[in-house]
């Protein structure tokens, strides 16, 4: 990580909170405060108010043009509408009043991490987290085969990451021999760069890269996993993560950072119930999760007692892809250690997964466009009624 001092601009109307932030900045050797009229903006800490609808386009453009290195929203309450719009634009930090110094320091550290990993250098790869509503939903098979299809387009540009704990199974689906796991990265995280990452990754004969998980190893701490995922995004176009959602824990970092969250389910009442709870949990912890979640009905039999339309009515959400039952082909491919899409290219399951990859690929390759607009209005005085995020109209 570089040791440069990060400039910080404050667009804060709450005088007391502004004063506290100024004091925190003065105590933190990693940052420095810049004047409102300075040419550089650095990290912009912005308190939305009644003018948020007018201000947000300026903030988004500041990020896209590089005038703002990062943006933190600040306020008493996080209005979901504001957060969703902000997160869609690449803003992921919210600092709640009264500002906690540890929270502020952690946000600065994340900015420094993103900067050290070259966030502004070229287009980053995208993360697709694949998880089941509960165990046995076929999420690992889905992750392996989706990664295999994406890898076909450009071998070596896709990596499959095994984050299931305590034991991952992706190597068995690929008959993959491997020497290292992401455990090595966690144990020596200070060495993490593109070269070290590539030395740990295993390669399948198809060209698909795989980062297996160590047996019985605990999940990486959030900061280490954040660094690993960011390094993966810098080195691969597609990062497919086979993950298991811990219902009694915080949102997994790979789900939080994913561009797309694929949730595998089956057309049974227990699975639908667990899927509903899983979606509620993701929504409650990440307002932008609603947009990123996509449902996949797996192993759907022709004579299923619960139909797809009934399941969608129960869940109140579209099931985007329906994978038909083909247990003989699926099990045979697993026993061969060969992805289904390669072992049985004419399987109806293969056809759906290829359609899924085609639908997701345009999102993964979408380029961002930048343009310039004035930003002075962000620092203008706000009225007394503009001191919270509540009631903002977008």
Residue-number span of the structural domain to which 264 is assigned: 126-364
pLDDT score at 313:
95
CATH number for the domain that contains residue 97: 3.40.50.2300
Provide mean pLDDT across the span 266-284: 92
Q: Are residues 257 and 302 in the same domain?
A: yes
The answer on 83 and 40 residing in a single domain is yes
Residues 14 and 155 in one domain: no
Same domain assignment for residues 131 and 82:
no
The mean pLDDT value of the chain amounts to: 84
pLDDT in tens, 310-322: 999 999 999 999 9
DSSP code for 384 = G
* One domain, residues 342 and 237: yes
For the question of whether the overall pTM of this predicted structure is more than 0.85, the answer is: no
Q: Is residue 213 part of a domain?
A: yes
Same domain, 308 and 374: no
> Cα 178 to chain center, whole Å?
26
> Which own/partner contact pairs does 308-311 have at CB distance under 8 Å and 24+ positions apart?
308/267, 311/265, 311/267, 311/272
Residue whose entry in the numeric block shows the structure tokens 């590089």: 66
> Strands 202-203 and 209-211, how do they pair?
antiparallel
User: pLDDT digits over 27-69, tens only?
Assistant: 888 889 988 777 778 899 999 888 888 888 888 888 888 888 8
Number of domains in the chain: 2
pLDDT of residue 383: 43
| 278 and 334 co-located in one domain | yes
């Amino acid at each position: 990580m570089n040791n440069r001092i990060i400039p910080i601009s404050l667009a804060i109307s709450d005088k007391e909170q502004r004063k506290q932030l100024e004091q925190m900045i003065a105590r933190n050797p990693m940052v420095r405060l810049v004047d409102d009229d300075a040419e550089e903006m650095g990290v912009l800490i912005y308190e939305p108010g009644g003018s948020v609808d007018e201000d947000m386009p300026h903030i988004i453009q500041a990020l896209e043009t590089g005038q703002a290195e990062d943006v933190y929203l600040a306020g008493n309450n996080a209005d979901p509408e504001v957060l969703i719009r902000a997160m869609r634009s690449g803003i992921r930090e919210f600092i709640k009043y009264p500002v906690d110094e540890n929270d502020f320091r952690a946000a600065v550290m994340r900015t420094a991490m993103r900067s050290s990993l070259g966030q502004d250098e070229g287009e980053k790869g995208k993360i697709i987290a694949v998880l089941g509503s509960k165990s046995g939903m076929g999420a690992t098979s889905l992750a392996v085969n989706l990664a295999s299809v994406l890898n076909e387009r450009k071998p070596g540009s896709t990596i499959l990451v095994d984050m299931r704990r305590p034991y991952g199974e992706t190597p068995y689906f690929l008959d993959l021999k491997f020497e290292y796991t992401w455990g090595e990265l966690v144990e020596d995280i200070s060495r993490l760069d593109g070269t070290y990452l590539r030395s740990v990754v295993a390669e399948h004969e198809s060209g698909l890269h795989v980062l297996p998980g160590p047996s019985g190893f605990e999940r990486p701490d959030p900061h280490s996993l954040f660094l690993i995922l960011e390094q993966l995004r810098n080195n691969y176009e597609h990062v497919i993560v086979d993950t298991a959602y811990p219902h009694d824990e915080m949102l997994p970092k790979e789900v939080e950072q994913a561009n797309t969250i694929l949730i595998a389910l089956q057309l049974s009442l227990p699975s639908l119930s667990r899927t509903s709870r899983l979606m509620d949990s993701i929504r409650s912890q990440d307002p932008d999760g609603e947009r990123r979640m996509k449902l996949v009905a797996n192993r759907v039999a022709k004579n299923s007692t619960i139909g797809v339309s009934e399941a969608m009515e129960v869940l109140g959400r579209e099931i985007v892809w329906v994978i038909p039952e083909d247990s003989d082909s699926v099990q045979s491919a697993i026993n061969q250690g060969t992805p289904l899409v390669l072992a049985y290219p004419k399987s109806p399951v293969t056809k759906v997964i290829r359609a899924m990859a085609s639908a997701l690929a345009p999102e993964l390759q979408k380029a961002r466009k930048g343009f310039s607009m004035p930003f002075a209005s962000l620092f203008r005085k706000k009225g007394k009624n503009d001191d919270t995020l509540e009631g903002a109209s977008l």
